Chain A
Amino acid sequence: MSVVTLTINDRQITARAGETVLDAARETGIPIPTLCHLDGVTEAAACRMCLVKIEGRGRLQASCVTSALEGMVVHTETEAIREYRRMILELLFAEGNHVCSVCVANEHCELQSLAADHGMDHVRYEYMNPKRPVDVTHERFALDHNRCILCSRCIRTCDEIEGAHTWDFAGRGSHARIIADMGQPWGEAESCTSCGKCVQSCPTGALFRKGSTVAEMTKDRERLAELMVARKEKKWSV
């Protein structure tokens, strides 16, 4: 296994050849924010939070899908990048109906935490106030579309870890939404195994356990990655 040396934020670090810039940075304690990234599933590069500046490349690059190469020079916190991250978070808050104060994921929400970490004390864009449903037809879990940020972590988790592929996208652009099977109520989706992994994968309070009330929905997202590692390495004991 070969090793490459690269520079991130003026620090020389080493990474395994083939590792992504995101993983290389995180392993060295350099934080890069992400929303659609989830350890244990493939990358979507959709949220654009992990964009970094790589010298010699014109456009900002999504660090979750960019391989760390020998001699690369990376900047993760330029002024433009910080401003763009905040704008992306504001766009997300303006897109759905994110009412933190009454949400099951209040204080345990990745979107809320990222917003606070990025100095987002208000949203400068007009709220869109879309009319979105809440699906409570499943016996154990529920999906509140108002809180969904279309990160697709649930889709990838259900497809790649559980293998059921119950969730997918329907609709285009701002009309896109998550659907179960062929657009049925979740409770009627025959492919669903009720394993609850999608609930664990969800960064916000969109997917939650029924019976949770405000701020009660905590998630164990690392469990999913542990599962994938255990399967691969056949190591089942903690």
Chain B
Amino acid sequence: MERLKLATVWLGGCSGCHMSFLDLDEWLFELSEMADLVYSPIADVKDFPHGVDVTLVEGAIANEENLGMAKTVRQRSRVVVSFGDCAVTGNVTAMRNPHGLGLEVLRTVYLVPEPGTQPHIPDDREIVPALLDQVIPLHNVIPVDHFLPGCPPSASRIRDFLKQLLSGTAPNRSAVQIRFG
């Protein structure tokens, strides 16, 4: 049986979902029999490949780089999964939203007068991508196939989800599988 091409990305998130993924512990061995990790922040791959079967996307869309990556993922993946509360709802990353648009938030955070400092807003586009005015969930920018909430989703939740996905069953949407938080 050909192994599934699995990818993961993290966008505007804390990488906690990836840590939870790693908590799969020994089951990762089983997973590696069924899937190849073709792209991931925890693997050494430079460019997101074409023809990916399933991509788990952690993190919300907070800046232009996240946005670009999300679109690339959608174009090159068969199935896209919003992985964790940040991708599903915006979560903590989106807590800046009520405090104003991008520029206002940057001003509040960076232009704090402090003796001995010269406050300015980082704007080197090579390093710091432009902020979006509002942080938005993944499904607001690309069509998403499945949602895996949790902050982070527990390893058992991830395992149950992946097992179902890999066996071609529709993922279970029971309360214990989808509860936020």
Contact = CB atoms under 8 A, between A and B. Distances in A.
Q: Do A and B actually bind?
A: yes
A107 interface: yes
A112 interface: yes
A156 B133 CA distance: 39
A129 B147 contact: no
A32 B52 CA distance: 43
A61 interface: no
Contacts of B137: 122-123, 127
Contacts of B99: 131
Nearest to A117: B175
Interface string B162-181: 00000000000101101111
Contacts of A100: 85, 151, 180-181
A121 B173 contact: yes
A129 to B, nearest CB: 4
Most chain B CB neighbours (cut-off 10 Å) among A107, A120, A132, A215? A120
B91 A101 contact: yes
A102 B151 CA distance: 9
Contacts of B176: 116
Given A101-B85, A117-B175, A119-B173, A106 B181 contact: yes
Interface in B110-165: 134, 136-137, 139-140, 144, 147-149, 151
B95 interface: yes
Most chain A CB neighbours (cut-off 10 Å) among B98, B134, B180? B180
Interface in A74-91: none
Given A127-B97, A130-B98, A121 B88 contact: yes
Contacts of A130: 98
B181 A103 contact: yes
Contacts of A93: 89
Contacts of B181: 100-101, 103, 106-107, 112, 215
B26 to A, nearest CB: 27
Interface residues of A, number: 28
A129 B98 contact: yes
A99 interface: yes
Contacts of B140: 126
A101 B151 contact: yes
B178 A99 contact: no
A146 B181 CA distance: 16
B91 A122 contact: no
B175 A116 contact: yes
A113 interface: yes
A115 interface: yes
B94 interface: yes
Contact of B92 (A99, A120, A122): A99
Nearest to B86: A101
B85 A127 contact: no
A46 to B, nearest CB: 23
B88 A122 contact: yes
B55 interface: no
B177 to A, nearest CB: 8
B63 interface: no
Most chain B CB neighbours (cut-off 10 Å) among A106, A116, A119, A120? A116
Given A99-B91, A115-B179, A121-B178, 15 more contacts: A97-B98, A107-B179, A107-B181, A112-B181, A116-B176, A119-B173, A122-B88, A122-B137, A122-B139, A127-B89, A127-B90, A127-B94, A129-B98, A130-B98, A132-B98
Interface of B: 82, 85, 88-92, 94-95, 97-99, 134, 136-137, 139-140, 144, 147-149, 151, 173, 175-176, 178-181
17 contacts: A93-B89, A99-B91, A99-B94, A106-B181, A113-B175, A115-B180, A116-B175, A116-B180, A121-B148, A122-B82, A122-B139, A122-B147, A123-B89, A126-B140, A127-B94, A129-B134, A132-B98
